[in-house]
Structure 1
Amino acid sequence: MDTEAQHTERDPSSDPEGGSRSARVSGDDGPAPDEASTAGTAPSWRRTAFVGGACVAFVMLLSHFVVQPFLIPSGSMEPTLQVGDRIIVNKLAYRFGGEPARGDVVVFDGTGSFVREQPRGNPVTGLLHDGAAALGLAEPDETDFVKRVVGIGGDRVVCCDKDGRITVNGVPVEEWYVMAGDRPSSVPFDIVVPQDRLWVMGDHRSQSSDSRDHLGSPGGGMVPVDRVVGRADWIAWPFGRWSTVPATDAFGAVPAAPAGGHGAGAHG
Structure 2
Amino acid sequence: MLLQGAALSLLVPGAGLQLAQAESVDVGRNSVFTKLIPAETIEKSAAAQYAQMMQQAAAQKALAGRDHPQVKRLRAIATKTIPHALSWNPRARDWNWEVNLIASKQINAFCMPGGKIAFYTGILDQLKLTDDEAATVMGHEVAHALREHARERMGKNAATGIGATLLSQVLGLGELGQTVANYGAQLLSLQFSRSDESEADLVGMELAARAGFDPRAGVSLWQKMAIASRGAPPQWLSTHPAGPTRIADIEANLPKVLPLYARSRPG
TM-score by length of 2: 0.25
Q: Which has the larger radius of gyration?
A: 1
- Which protein has the bigger strand share? 1
- Which protein has the bigger helix share? 2
